[in-house]
Amino acid sequence: MNNKVLIADDDDRIREIVCLYLEAEGFNVCQAEDGNKALEMVRNDNPDIVILDLMMPGLDGWTVCKILRKETKIPIIMLTAKGEENDRVLGFDLGADDYVVKPFSPRELSARVKAVLRRLEGEESKEHILAYSGLKVNQITREVEVDGINISLTSKEFELLQCLAKRPGQIYSRDQLLNMVWGYDYCGDSRTVDTHINRLRSKLESQVGHSDFIQTVRGVGYKFELSGH
């Protein structure tokens, strides 16, 4: 199976039980004990699905889900003691794919993980592919191809390309890109955007004739341009 599952819960016993059961089912499992760690692991370890407890120290599950939905389409199963209808509705409104109430059966949780992943695989169609002349961006697998050749991008490089490519011709300022890719609480400056854009261009330019997808708008920022492709 080899799908990677992130279980984020501040209860050590619950994480251990879920981890043991899912590993026995053939999943690779990683663990986070709080919301901040969960965000870090999603961004760095690229799990295939997140099991997310709502009541965690630091960032709670609601906040983590909201942030993740701005950054990625990774499927999320909420795991919580809150079973009221309003809580479930809020979870789905924030972008959760499923909702499991404690106490729960590890067998049922595993079945729900498999069901969500199967549904995701079935939905992976052309609507998740940004395709332009010579360039293909898969928003689910996060793979990028130029002229059929896979281009290796870092997480931030991919997210920059995705933001720009989703709206060709739209001009984004450096501050807008910082907020969209790094988040509103990022403490760096706009030069970070320039550095990542330059690296992204260099990787796209490795395939002759594809260096001008991302264009600089002097005094403003950047845009994704289709002219000439």
Summarize pLDDT for 76-98 with one digit per residue, the tens: 999 887 666 677 777 778 888 89
Identify the residue with better confidence: 227 or 169: 169
Phi, psi of 44, deg, nearest 5? -100, -30
pLDDT tops 70 at residue 208: no
Model confidence at 30: pLDDT above 60: yes
Query: In this predicted model, what pLDDT tens digit does every residue of 99-131 receive, in sequence order?
Result: 888 888 888 899 999 999 888 776 555 567 888
Buried b (16+ CB within 10 A) or exposed e, 59-91: bbbbbbbebbeebbebbbbbbbebeeeebbebb
Residue 40 main-chain phi, psi, to 5 deg: -60, -40
Q: Report d(CA 21, CA 27) in Å as an integer.
A: 9
DSSP state of 127: G
Find the mean pLDDT for residues 3-31.
92
DSSP letters spanning 30-42:
EEESSHHHHHHHH
Query: What is residue 206's predicted lDDT score, i.e. its pLDDT?
Result: 63
Residue 194 clears pLDDT 50, i.e. is over it: yes
Tokens standing for 166?
Answer: 């989703």
pTM (predicted TM-score): 0.54
Residue 25 neighbours by CB under 8 Å, 6+ apart: 1, 110
pLDDT attached to residue 229 = 46
d(CA 157, CA 205) in angstroms, rounded, equals 14
Q: Given a cut of 90, is residue 158 above it in pLDDT?
A: yes
| Helices of type H across the chain | 12-24, 35-45, 61-71, 85-93, 106-123, 155-165, 174-177, 191-205
Q: How many residues in the chain?
A: 229
Element (H, E) at 80: strand 76-80
Burial of 186 (0-12, 13-18, 19+ CB in 10 A): exposed
